[in-house]
Every structure is written in C-alpha cells, then in structure tokens.
Amino acid sequence: MMHIDINCDLGESFGNYTIGNDALLMPYISSANIACGFHAGDPMVIEKTVQLALQNNVKIGAHPGYPDLQGFGRRSLKMPAQEIKSMMVYQVAALKGITESLGGKLHHVKPHGALYNDAVDNSDIAQAIVESVIQIDPSLKLVALAGSQIHDIAKEHNLATIREVFADRAYFPNGSLVPRSQAGAVIHDPEESKKRVLQMVTEGKVAANNEELIDIKAETICIHGDNPSAVEMAKSLYNFLIGNGIKVN
C-alpha cells in the first residue's frame, strides 16, 4: 500500500488570540508542526498542543520562525546566518524540552513562513537551519520544500529530510512555489487540489503554472492550520487518500 504523511501547522494561538481549530484537525493529520513562540504560540499553547498530538498519536515537530508576531512570520528579516542558527536552536530546544517533559519525542523540524521560503533561495540561511537542527539532535528530520537546495545541504551533513508538497499552492516550472502576492498562487478549488495531490503521490508529477508537468517527490502534504476551512480540507483530503488506497501515516 502506498502511504503519505499529512502535516499541519498548529499551536499558533497566543495570549487572548485563538487561531485555528487544532483539536478538530488532529484526527485527519499524521504530523503536527507546533509554533515555538516567535511568530506565534506561547508556553501554555505549546504545552496544550503537544498534549493534543500525543493523545491523537500524531508526530510532533518544531515550527520555528522569524521573531515577527505582527507579521505572523511571513515577512523576511535581514539577519546574519549565525543569528538565524541561534534563533533556531532556541526555539527547537524549547519545543523539544516541553515535548519530552510530557513523555513525547520530537520527530522533526519545519521552518515557518518567510524563513522556510528564504531557505529555498539563500544557501547561507539553509546552511544555518541544517546546522541548528544537527546541534540540537542529529536524529531529527528536516521538513523542506521538495526539490529545493536545502535537501542537498542536509544530505551533505547526513541530516534526514522529509520532502514537502502543497495541495493548495501553484508551482513554477523549476519546482518553487508561486508567491502568494501573484494571481493564481493559491488554489481554492478543493477538488482540483485533491487531483493534484493524487498525481503528486502516485505519479511524482505536478502541473506547473505554465501547464508543464514537472517531477516532484511527495513525502508529506501540508495543510495550513490558520486557514478558516482547514478542518474541512483536512478531512476531505484524508478521506480522499484513504479512498484511493493511500495510507496516511
């Protein structure tokens, strides 16, 4: 049986602000990327989200981002590579410590938002991210955009990666994501998204924004937890994959 992981960015509430429906999403995902407090999340939210993941047998990952609460971590910040590395270590270590204090084990690290995107184009940032994960725990896995340079850098350092694809995002012919600022970057039709996922998982192909079929390796599919329709999307995608003989784990 073919299988695929479904991951979701969770734990992004903080203080008096509630974002997403984490408890309702858990039954339809297999990996949770939990915000570490810099772009979203706070200690109590982190602890609650880790507990939810453990209760649902969902793999736990750290979701570090730029220190940018106002911009939700989706704005690039000009930071030296060493500062990015230290920032990553700080956030991942916090998530790892809380997870272990509750009897769990941290499984992976997935950078958030602009930090994730910057690592696709900037080798210094990618290098800093890889080195930070290894410094914390070399047995952790790194989730990154399928086909991006960070996989090669991780491989050079013997760090395991999980190649990520997006059900609701358009791709350029080179395999990079079309920026949200451009028209057509986000695919809103759920049926179209599911067809794209099935093709990525079963054929290793996806249609780029110029209609060209490009190669892509799918090991995990991302659903954004802050999307108002995230629960409906996750449930629909989960049932669709199961119905097509693909196990979610």
CATH of the domain at 49: 3.20.20.370
Mean pLDDT of 174-186: 88
* pLDDT value, residue 25: 96
Mean pLDDT of 27-36: 98
Indicate whether 80 belongs to any domain. Answer: yes
Indicate whether 238 belongs to any domain. Answer: no
Domain range enclosing 150: 2-168+218-225
Indicate whether 151 belongs to any domain. Answer: yes
Cα–Cα dist 207/195, whole Å: 11
Rounding to the nearest 10 degrees, give the CA dihedral for residues 33, 40, 55, 2: -20
Cα 114 from chain centre: 12
Mean pLDDT of 15-44: 96
The residue among 187, 190, 197, 192 whose CA lies nearest residue 244 is 197
Q: How confident is the model at residue 186 (pLDDT cuts 50, 70, 90)?
A: confident
Q: Is the pLDDT score of 181 beyond 90?
A: no
Indicate whether 197 belongs to any domain. Answer: no
3-state SS, 192-211, equals HHHHHHHHHHHHCEEECCCC
Q: How confident is the model at residue 28 (pLDDT cuts 50, 70, 90)?
A: very high
Mean pLDDT of 47-58: 98
Indicate whether 68 belongs to any domain. Answer: yes
Q: What is the mean pLDDT of the chain?
A: 94
Q: Is the pLDDT score of 75 beyond 90?
A: yes
Q: Is the pLDDT score of 81 beyond 80?
A: yes
Contact 39, 10 (CB under 8 A): no
Cα–Cα dist 228/217, whole Å: 28
Report how many domains make up the chain.
Answer: 1
Contact 106, 61 (CB under 8 A): yes
How many residues does the structure list for the chain? Answer: 249
* pLDDT value, residue 73: 94
Residues 87-130 have pLDDT tens digits of 999 999 999 999 999 999 999 999 999 999 999 989 999 999 99
Cα–Cα dist 38/227, whole Å: 20
Residues 212-233 have pLDDT tens digits of 999 999 999 998 877 777 888 8
Radius of gyration of the chain (CA): 17
Secondary structure E strands in the chain:
2-10, 31-35, 59-63, 106-109, 141-145, 161-166, 205-207, 213-215, 220-224, 246-248
Amino acid in position 195: K
What would the two tokens of residue 146 be? 């399928």
Query: Which residues are bridge partners to 223 per DSSP?
Result: 8
Indicate whether 108 belongs to any domain. Answer: yes
Cα–Cα dist 163/30, whole Å: 15
Structure pTM? 0.94
Indicate whether 188 belongs to any domain. Answer: no
* pLDDT value, residue 193: 87
CA–CA distance from 42 to each of 66, 152, 210, 227 (Å)? 15, 33, 41, 20
Cα–Cα dist 150/18, whole Å: 32
Q: Is the pLDDT score of 42 beyond 90?
A: yes
Indicate whether 18 belongs to any domain. Answer: yes
Rounding to the nearest 10 degrees, give the CA dihedral for residues 117, 119, 125, 131: 130
